[in-house]
Structure 1
Amino acid sequence: MTKDLLLWDQTIFKEQEYFELDFLPENLLHRDAQMRSLKFSVSPALRGSTPLNAYCRGAPGTGKTSAVLKVFSELENATQKVVPVYINCQVDSTRYAIFAQIFKKLFGYPPPSSGISFKKLFSQIAKHLVEKKRVLIVALDDFNYLMASKEADEVLYSLLRMHEVQPGAKVGVITILSDLTLDMVRDLTPQVQSVFLPEEIAFPQYSPEEIKDILKYRVRYGFMQGVISDELIDIVTGYTADTGDLRVGINMLKRAGLNAERRASRAISKEDIEKAYEGSRYIHLNYTIRNLKKEEKVLLKCIVASGKEEMMSGELYECFKEKTDLGYTSFYEMVNRLEGLKILSLNTTGKGTRGQSRLVSLMYDPGEVEKRIDV
């Protein structure tokens, strides 16, 4: 029996970093087409020309950020004449903060914390690009935060018109969006649309087969041999496919491994998987609710406040309308979007006035949803 038990200084992990959510694997599986499109967009920069702008669009956990970071890593290894700058717009959501990060990447130190205007900051960046003959590529991740703060137009306009202020400046922009309701054409001003003109790169949700393939890749390099069976990987795959978010499965593997180690076991059990899911399943919920619009959070709160497992869509609409004054079309679109994000479940019933109505229910525990709603 003792050979099946771990000693206190032993581990079942070979490389635990393979189960970290920010880990960038050597091979980004099932994103070859997206990687080719990104490389095509940035390739002019390698020849000293202005790159094409790109717009990466897909649900959370579909590999958008990883693909961009992978291309940026390859660019940095290939040349110093191209400067890729990744911006997390949740953290840096103003034009000044974004340009401060660009300044830091170009010069190796941050701009003065006070006493420097945006105009001067902008000028120093543009001048450096021209004098050093460097091409700037800026990736704006979670771009919806800039759109919500009304900074999107100013940020894009400043970046893409830099060559007019400083002739010879070459800048490309990649936007990354997980909010599938946003329309880059509709929601940006005509002035910005006319200079942005991005190549749209779609990131569809992974199929169950693709999810399993990716998880098996992580298992192969992350765990010691024989730690988890194919049958248990199938269970993790099923849970991951239910949420549509690859990060859930990756985190489940890490938690399950730690659960096994807590038992001093050399192998993961089904119980370890089930216990891991209880924690990992909320990764998708956390990210999704954090990125919802205020009105969408109000809609969820109506369901929570009802205390019902299911609500008739008409009853839900009355609560929603009372709190937002929005019409049925907006309500209908939000319900469908929340179903697409795998937060709501919709079923039809024959009790409606026209022969059928929709029953709306939460896919998560109402208490867990309520804890994450900040309206």
Structure 2
Amino acid sequence: MADDPEEGMLSWDESVFRDEHVFEIDYVPETFKHRDTQTQNLTYALRPAVRGSRPLNVMVRGPPGTGKTTAVQKLFDEVGTQTSDVRTIRVNCQVNSTRYSVFSRLFEGTFDYEPPSSGISFKKLFGQIADKLVEDDRVLVVALDDVNYLFYENEASDTLYSLLRAHEEYPGAKIGVIVVSSDPTLEVIDELDSRVQSVFRPEEVYFPVYDQPEIVDILDERVRKGFRDGVISRNTVERVADRTAESGDLRVGIDLLRRAGLNAEMRGSRTVEMEDVDAAYEKSKYINLSRSLSGLSDTERALLEVIATNDGGQAGEVYETFHEETALGYTRYSEIVNKLDQLGLIDADYADIEGRGRSRSLSLSYDKEAVLDRLE
């Protein structure tokens, strides 16, 4: 590598990035590519709200990293520029996975301040939200993002029932719901109580995995906005696209570009090379794992660590170790096992054990070291 900065070395105050925020998870692109049909369907469902009526309910499905959250956020931003008579609130159910916490976020979005941390019942919380909507003659559109987490905690039916039946208890309250699920195995309608199924008749909008040309097109735009001219070659971008296509998650590619840029800077290089991409992929490929772990409670993380150290062990044996560490009973243990299985963090498969009948073996869905490193 040359020592002359003019021959490829960065100085201390230089960067390969034009705008590093372009590669961050919360960045909303100005142009939203290859999702025209999905955007049109969402717009169709929300159009009545702009006219002061209750919108159609929507179920948005698709694997992680296919543009679901971005589509909803872009649409909410557009509605906000058109009218002040529609309140749009997106709730991250990975963080807010109970009915009360969901409505706490709705309260905050309605009144622009948080509700009291204690001493207020759900009924009162809900009543204040509904009364405010009726008083202001506003339509509320709620997006339950990552709604699958409400299902994992058995909170989905109660939450949706309260939202969908609001107009019965509070005449004049107009609320529409968008549920967004990233769990391809979750049959949202089938898993809801019959009392909710009878009123939740959503429009369905599906987001498929991006194909290779679409990935290249989207990454090209991020490169133009995020990197300085000449930093990354076409061949290197295509390597990133290949890695992204392997994962099926666009977020892997975007994170990979950022980490590859940081690797280049660590080398003092003005250009991002293949070696930077390959080194970065070892971390970027676990972006879904890191995201799933970030939403786990201390108890859930403790069980996952026990499973990691007893990878492939029988459920009963794993429980004994878990119980020694937490003193929790088998019912709660079983609930957490089911949640970790639904999240795709573990595989809980039944097998015939000689002399013991059928039992579940618990094994990690990811590399053991990758899990343990991220649990620290």
* 1:342-367 deviation line (CA, Å, top 9, x unaligned): 999xxxxxxxxxxxxxxxx9995343
- 1:226 corresponds, among 208, 230, 235, to 230
Partner SS state of residue 195, structure 1: coil
* 1:186-239 deviation line (CA, Å, top 9, x unaligned): 100111011111111111111111111111110011111110000001111111
Cα deviation for residue 266 of structure 1 reads 1.2
CA contact (8 A) 2:45 2:58 kept: yes
The range that moved more, 281-290 or 89-98, is: 281-290
2:46 and 2:198 map into 1 onto residues whose CA distance is 19
Cα deviation for residue 6 of structure 1 reads 1.8
- Answering whether residue 264 of structure 2 is matched by residue 260 of structure 1, we say yes
1:291 and 1:133 map into 2 onto residues whose CA distance is 36
- 2:174 corresponds, among 170, 176, 181, to 170
1:94 and 1:303 map into 2 onto residues whose CA distance is 30
Q: 1:313 aligns to what?
A: none
Q: Normalising by structure 2, report the TM-score.
A: 0.80
Q: CA RMSD in A?
A: 3.0
CA contact (8 A) 1:135 1:171 kept: yes
Cα deviation for residue 115 of structure 1 reads 2.4
CA contact (8 A) 1:304 1:370 kept: no
Cα deviation for residue 109 of structure 1 reads 1.2
Cα deviation for residue 112 of structure 1 reads 2.1
Partner SS state of residue 209, structure 2: coil
Cα deviation for residue 5 of structure 1 reads 2.1
Q: 2:5 aligns to what?
A: 2
1:185 and 1:120 map into 2 onto residues whose CA distance is 28
Q: 1:151 aligns to what?
A: 155
The range that moved more, 363-372 or 111-120, is: 363-372
CA contact (8 A) 1:54 1:173 kept: yes
Q: Judging changes above 3 Å, is the alpha-carbon distance between structure 1 residues 183 and 212 closer, same or farther for their aligned structure 2 residues?
A: same
Q: 2:116 aligns to what?
A: 112
Q: 1:368 aligns to what?
A: 370
Q: Normalising by structure 1, report the TM-score.
A: 0.80
Q: Judging changes above 3 Å, is the alpha-carbon distance between structure 1 residues 60 and 260 closer, same or farther for their aligned structure 2 residues?
A: same
Q: 1:141 aligns to what?
A: 145
CA contact (8 A) 2:54 2:174 kept: yes
- 2:85 corresponds, among 75, 81, 84, to 81
Q: Judging changes above 3 Å, is the alpha-carbon distance between structure 1 residues 304 and 321 closer, same or farther for their aligned structure 2 residues?
A: closer
Q: Judging changes above 3 Å, is the alpha-carbon distance between structure 1 residues 290 and 133 closer, same or farther for their aligned structure 2 residues?
A: same
CA contact (8 A) 1:61 1:244 kept: yes
Q: Judging changes above 3 Å, is the alpha-carbon distance between structure 1 residues 162 and 272 closer, same or farther for their aligned structure 2 residues?
A: same
CA contact (8 A) 2:308 2:371 kept: no
Cα deviation for residue 110 of structure 1 reads 1.5
- 2:207 corresponds, among 185, 203, 206, to 203
2:62 and 2:317 map into 1 onto residues whose CA distance is 32
- Name the aligned partner's letter for residue 109 of structure 1: Y
1:366 and 1:102 map into 2 onto residues whose CA distance is 38
Q: Judging changes above 3 Å, is the alpha-carbon distance between structure 1 residues 304 and 209 closer, same or farther for their aligned structure 2 residues?
A: farther
- 2:101 corresponds, among 94, 97, 100, to 97
Partner SS state of residue 116, structure 1: coil
Alignment of 1:289-328 (within 5 A): 305=311
Q: 2:358 aligns to what?
A: none
Q: 1:271 aligns to what?
A: 275
Cα deviation for residue 253 of structure 1 reads 0.6
1:109 and 1:285 map into 2 onto residues whose CA distance is 33
CA contact (8 A) 2:86 2:139 kept: yes
Partner SS state of residue 61, structure 1: coil
1:80 and 1:154 map into 2 onto residues whose CA distance is 29
- Answering whether residue 219 of structure 2 is matched by residue 215 of structure 1, we say yes
Q: Judging changes above 3 Å, is the alpha-carbon distance between structure 1 residues 128 and 363 closer, same or farther for their aligned structure 2 residues?
A: closer
* 1:290-311 deviation line (CA, Å, top 9, x unaligned): 899x9xx99xx699846xxxxx
CA contact (8 A) 2:240 2:253 kept: yes
1:149 and 1:285 map into 2 onto residues whose CA distance is 19
1:371 and 1:257 map into 2 onto residues whose CA distance is 23
* 1:42-67 deviation line (CA, Å, top 9, x unaligned): 11100000000111111111111111
Aligned length: 331
Identity of matched residues, %? 50
Q: Structure 2, unaligned stretches of length 5 or more? A: 320-341, 348-362
Q: Judging changes above 3 Å, is the alpha-carbon distance between structure 1 residues 120 and 100 closer, same or farther for their aligned structure 2 residues?
A: same
1:182 and 1:118 map into 2 onto residues whose CA distance is 27
Cα deviation for residue 261 of structure 1 reads 1.4
